[in-house]
Structure 1
């Protein structure tokens, strides 16, 4: 990480809080403090204990930052912190890389980037950097981070995010979202396939506690099975990543498929499973809750 890079952080939820802790510790090692802001001061306790400093408003945070990382649900939530007397743009009188770590529409990201560049005379450069790896990856500092944007701000974003995992610049603005769409297609399809296979196996009399480890050692093994395998065994679908979030992510994956002009049979099937799961009232369960949906169905 660049030692002269001032970093701000907005969004201290389940993913953002452990990410901010990693960055705060890395910044402290360089003699700088990470500045953080969130809707609730209490959510900053862990990052403040790690050496971060509190910014009362987004404008205050922008004034002391060269890179502002945002871990928010989507672009509408990001736009909410931009405007007004205390909004981030009110504190922007110098070049700023604004990094959106949400899973969002590639077209929406490009549109927001163009609007920000026009409004600020080119001072604000938007970078998209969606993340994958779940809460576990955020805590471990092992996230995969897909970065899109112009070279210099994208490199600044990648350096700022380095303590959180592997951040790779993949191309111009929106490239990160295209990569995340590909990621989410694989995640959704794999999770649904695991759930379906394990429900069928258990109904046939197999012991999941014996089956899951042996599956993990063969071609069916994956990071998803490693992380969620015990959840399937225990039928524990407390939400680490609510299934309802997958609906949004797969909607953006469909956007990418349409823009690419390709058929999307696997994506269509996976989206259908999650749509049905949410319609059945199970959208607050973890994405592995497809198992519970199939058992009830």
Structure 2
């Protein structure tokens, strides 16, 4: 069990947050949670339930927020039952993939509203649902050295946390990660269509190529979906639009004339417009196969 005396809470108990909460509970022996829906599994395992964000904040020193983005966190901050109404000193770990400038602006506002009692570390993650369940996530930390060190000690239960720089650095790293992931899954989908239409055995091909330079964690996790065409959701493709927009913001802020990024944004815009955004990112195979060569 963890030696840290901090009381930890989690809000945002979805596909990523729930298994992360399980690992934190197992590592620490205690955890406080709040969610829109009952969480009987976590309660049975020993987690404590808070009836409101205010009650949650009043009971914890460190709060992991695994919500989709900053607007969902903002909704929980203010008001008589909001997080800020119940907090003393609080370190908020923001695990969503979000805008780096947005994270900094929120941290400044929270610092001002709370007279410095509320601090922020950004900690987006990579590894997907399988990594969250296995406790092997890559966790990208941005923030003050002392706060990031505290966050790393806590989040070690969920994977490998690394402090990459000041607040927002985690989001820059996540944008870089998503640039690579989106490019890779689009290439894998397109290659699958080329191979299938050429009569190749897809399973044999990807098994072979996974041992060479085309191999990757992404191919390992999505190989079966690419081969069978099963793109039932695990990591929904539509979320790439948000992630690539944040990457584009960083490119603009750093004066980078990106080559791949505009093409990837266009491709995922088209994919979502085609009604495929709620499918797994392996839907790139279906997307490429469905495109009309005469209109593209």
In the superposition, the TM-score normalised over structure 1's length comes to 0.96
| Structure 2 counterpart of 1:114, from 81, 105, 108 | 108
Aligned residue in 2 for 1:138: 132
Separation of aligned partners in 2, 1:71 and 1:113: 16
Separation of aligned partners in 2, 1:182 and 1:2: 33
Aligned residue in 2 for 1:61: 56
Matched, 1:128 2:129: no
Separation of aligned partners in 2, 1:135 and 1:56: 27
Check the 8 A contact 1:96/1:123 in 2, yes or no. yes
Matched, 1:288 2:282: yes
Aligned residue in 1 for 2:20: 19
Matched, 1:4 2:1: no
Map residues 1-297 of structure 1 onto 2, 5 A cutoff: 1-28=2-29, 33-41=30-38, 44-93=39-88, 95-297=89-291
Check the 8 A contact 1:2/1:159 in 2, yes or no. no
Runs of 4+ in 1 over 4 A off after TM superposition: none
Aligned residue in 1 for 2:294: none
Separation of aligned partners in 1, 2:159 and 2:241: 25
How far does the alpha carbon of each residue in 1:209-245 deviate from its partner, in whole angstroms, 9 at most, with x for none?
Answer: 1111001000000000000011101101011111111
CA deviation after TM superposition for structure 1 residue 263, in Å: 1.1
In the superposition, the TM-score normalised over structure 2's length comes to 0.96
Separation of aligned partners in 1, 2:149 and 2:61: 12
Separation of aligned partners in 1, 2:46 and 2:93: 21
Separation of aligned partners in 2, 1:52 and 1:211: 46
- Secondary structure class of the residue paired with 1:243: coil
How far does the alpha carbon of each residue in 1:93-127 deviate from its partner, in whole angstroms, 9 at most, with x for none?
Answer: 2x211111000000000000000001100000011
CA deviation after TM superposition for structure 1 residue 160, in Å: 1.6
Separation of aligned partners in 1, 2:4 and 2:276: 46
Separation of aligned partners in 2, 1:188 and 1:49: 38
CA deviation after TM superposition for structure 1 residue 23, in Å: 0.4
Separation of aligned partners in 2, 1:85 and 1:177: 30
Separation of aligned partners in 1, 2:146 and 2:85: 23
List runs of 5+ in structure 1 lacking aligned partners: none
Separation of aligned partners in 2, 1:194 and 1:181: 20
Check the 8 A contact 1:127/1:150 in 2, yes or no. yes
Check the 8 A contact 1:97/1:156 in 2, yes or no. no
How far does the alpha carbon of each residue in 1:67-112 deviate from its partner, in whole angstroms, 9 at most, with x for none?
Answer: 000000000000111111111111112x211111000000000000
Check the 8 A contact 1:69/1:101 in 2, yes or no. yes
Check the 8 A contact 1:67/1:156 in 2, yes or no. no
Separation of aligned partners in 1, 2:45 and 2:245: 37
Separation of aligned partners in 2, 1:101 and 1:215: 33
- Secondary structure class of the residue paired with 2:238: helix
* Stretch moving more, 119-128 or 148-157: 148-157
CA deviation after TM superposition for structure 1 residue 205, in Å: 0.7
State the aligned residue count.
290
How far does the alpha carbon of each residue in 1:265-294 deviate from its partner, in whole angstroms, 9 at most, with x for none?
Answer: 111112211111101111111111011011
List runs of 5+ in structure 2 lacking aligned partners: 292-296
